[in-house]
Amino acid sequence: MHQRIENLDAIRGLAILLVVVGHAIAWNYSDWHEVCLFSQMQSKDYMVGGAVWQLIYSFHMALFFMVSGYLSGVSAITKDNIISRIRTKTIRLLIPYLATGFLIYFVRGNWGYWFLLTLYEMSIVWMFLNVVLRKFNPRYVLWKDIIIMALAYGFFRGLSVIPIIAPYIDVNLLKYFIPFCFGCLMRRHSVVERFVKDKNVYTICIVLFFLLFISRYLTAYPLLYTIVEKVDFFCSLSALCACIVVFSTFMNGVYYKSEKLFAYLGKVSMPIYILHILFVIQIVGIGEFILAQNPVTSITIQIVYSFAVSVIAISLSLFLYYILRRSALIRLLMFGERS
């Protein structure tokens, strides 16, 4: 079990690294929405300028939710512990979301880290879904789990189209519900985990993800892009393929020292997530330079520069974290950590 948990920490560590890299890329553009938010009507330079960001954002947050689903998969929620579980999640996620909302507002101009709120909502939804699964599927039958989870997903999707209710439905909850549930299925059913570890599945997922991702750049076939986007909207297919590749890589073992480094980052992913926004260097001139290059040079600069900036931002974030954590109150409010 220790090795399995370390694998999950490593996956979370890769995900938090990609979060910082993605921000390092986007914040170098004077208007990152114009470059990074893909449209087939973009110029070629803008498409290339946002390509690495698009690749990262196609799956990196889904990794967090799949890890959370895996860790939640066999949790037993009962009437005796549900209140304590909600209290734990409130301390770990909701309080930091509320307490650090001012930080991102001051630095970036919008309130709060959406991931903390969405993961909190997902955790609460899972607690009640867990009760349903325990009642109607006490023997952990795979097809029953899939049906119950699919019905829950359909229920929330249905609510999202009702005009009165739709404004109160978190779109990110819907977007990452399937990766979360897939993580639950991996933990609850060894056959699903074996499926993820299978080398043939690994190869298929790499190829399928590449085909789905590259379809957006085939501007001569806009219908293909529309179909792929619709499938992803309802099924999160691209993200699932990429996440399976990452899970398979770490579950089957990677270079030992690399896994240790990623596992360390995973264990401190919350303070990195909270604090890195203070240290990601924003130099608009770099963004303009990137957009002026040929595709190969542009992508190379994006990768090299963003990783260098990310190393600096992560290092400074952890330095500040180890100073702040000496205060029990700050640890609780900002990072959801209890002494």
For residue 255, the enclosing domain spans 2-335
Our count of domains for the chain comes to 1
For residue 41, how many other CB atoms are within 10 A of its CB? Answer: 9
Selection from 16, 50, 22, 25 nearest residue 282 by Cα = 25
- Looking up tokens 């909850």 gives 173
The pTM of the full predicted model, rounded to 2 decimals, is 0.94
- The share of the chain scoring above pLDDT 70, in percent, equals 98
Counting Cβ atoms within 10 Å, is residue 323 exposed (0-12), middle (13-18) or buried (19+)? exposed
Other beta carbons less than 10 A from residue 218's beta carbon: 12
Give residue 281's Cα distance to chain centre. 22
State how far the Cα of 242 lies from the Cα of 224, in Å rounded to an integer: 20
Measure the CA–CA gap between 19 and 273, rounded to whole angstroms.
8
pLDDT at 255: 61
As a whole number, mean pLDDT of residues 284-301 equals 94
pLDDT digits (tens, 9 = 90+) for 123-175: 999 999 999 999 999 999 999 999 999 999 999 999 999 999 999 999 999 99
Q: Which long-range contacts (CB under 8 A, 24 or more apart) does 50-56 make?
A: 51/299, 51/302, 52/25, 52/299, 52/302, 52/303, 52/306, 53/22, 53/25, 53/26, 53/302, 54/213, 54/216, 55/213, 56/18, 56/21, 56/22, 56/25
Asked if residue 157 lies in contact with residue 174, where contact means CB atoms within 8 angstroms, the answer is yes
Q: Which segment, 104-108, 234-238, 252-256, is predicted with the most confidence on average?
A: 234-238
| pLDDT tens digits along 261-280 | 899 999 999 999 999 999 99
pLDDT, tens digit, 9 for 90 and up, residues 168-178: 999 999 999 99
Question: Residue 71: helix, strand or coil by DSSP?
Answer: helix
